[in-house]
Amino acid sequence: MRAGVTGGLLGTVAVAGASASANAAEPVTQTLELPTLTADLATQVARSAEATQQAAANYELRAERDAAAARAAEQAEADLAEAKKAEAKKKAEAERKAEAERKAAAERAARDAERAELASASATSSGSSVSGSSSASASASVTAPASGSVSAVISFLKAQVGDAYVMGASGPNAWDCSSLVQAAFKQAGVDLPRVSQDQSMVGTDVSLSNLAVGDILYWGGKGSAYHVGVYIGNGQYLDAANPSKGVVIQDLSGYPASGAVRVL
């Protein structure tokens, strides 16, 4: 009987122990599964965060590209506007240059026509002009042509024919060669130097075979001229010659000039 009781007790204890062992093992099984679930969740979270970060990076990259494209478009528009502005400026400059050239050509043509007319008039009246009499001087009329006109120079010079030559004089009734030339060109708005040497250096050099009415003739070297006069056409020039002649019109053939310059 004791053995049976003892055996029963031991069986109960064994069953209880087994039950206890079983119960004790359950938490262990659950505890082992939790790390696996946690690792999966962490991986999912990490992947989600990576995806979110990549999406943000892609969005930022697109934003940068869009901004760069917008800046490029603005720069292209600005460059186009600048190019149009430069082209308009170039066109306006070309038009101004063309207009200036047309105006200069018209002025040259007017001066050439004026010189031809003066030369023709000089040829017609050369007989009375060469005499250089004071009565001819008195009858000459001085007009006031437009500034820059060759006729202003020639009209003034012819009005002085018969005046005296006095070294150092500058008008109104006595002149030396360079003061007469200076005063004549002043009528046309041209300021010349006072002395012959300097007057031979102004303007543009002209061949003696291609003289035009209004050209300044000089005798002596260029820059060291000792006498000046003005060509009036038909092979003649007008100058304040010397004390014995005064202001006269003479033929170049009798006293050829050394050179000539043109200022009008």
CATH number, position 152: 3.90.1720.10
Domain membership of residue 201 (yes or no) is yes
Q: What per-residue confidence (pLDDT) applies to 244?
A: 97
Domain count along the chain: 1
Residue 107 lies in a domain: no
The residue type found at 98 is A
Report the pLDDT value the prediction gives residue 174, as an integer from 0 to 100.
96
- Has residue 176 been placed in a domain? yes
- pLDDT tens figures, 43-73: 777 788 888 888 888 888 888 888 888 888 8
Average pLDDT, the chain: 79
Residue 27 lies in a domain: no
Residue 10, pLDDT above cutoff 90: no
Given a cut of 80, is residue 83 above it in pLDDT?
A: yes
Q: What is the mean pLDDT of residues 205-229?
A: 97
> Is pTM, for the whole model, over 0.75?
no
What per-residue confidence (pLDDT) applies to 137? Answer: 35
Q: Tell me the torsion sign for CA atoms 253, 256, 259, 264.
A: negative
Cis amide leading into 35 (omega within 30)? no
With beta carbons less than 8 A apart as the criterion, state whether 192 and 199 touch: yes
Q: Is residue 245 a part of any domain in this protein?
A: yes
Least confident of 47-51, 113-117, 177-181: 113-117
pLDDT per residue over 137-150, tens digit each?
333 333 333 446 89
Give the separation between CA 114 and CA 106, rounded to whole angstroms.
12
Instruction: Give the range of the structural domain holding residue 241, as residue numbers without chain letter.
Output: 125-262
As a whole-number percent, the residues of the chain with pLDDT over 90 amount to: 44
Answer whether residue 109 is part of any domain: no
Rounded Cα gap, residues 229 and 258, in angstroms: 11
Can you tell me the distance from the alpha carbon of 156 to that of 128, in angstroms, rounded to the nearest whole number? 17
Mean pLDDT is highest, among 17-31, 64-78, 145-159, 161-175, for: 161-175
**CB–CB of 178/229 below 8 Å?**
no
Q: Give the least confident one: 66-80, 161-175, 187-201, 214-228.
A: 66-80
Query: Does residue 90 lie in a domain region?
Result: no
Q: Going by DSSP bridges, is the β-strand pair 216-221/174-175 parallel, antiparallel, or unpaired?
A: unpaired
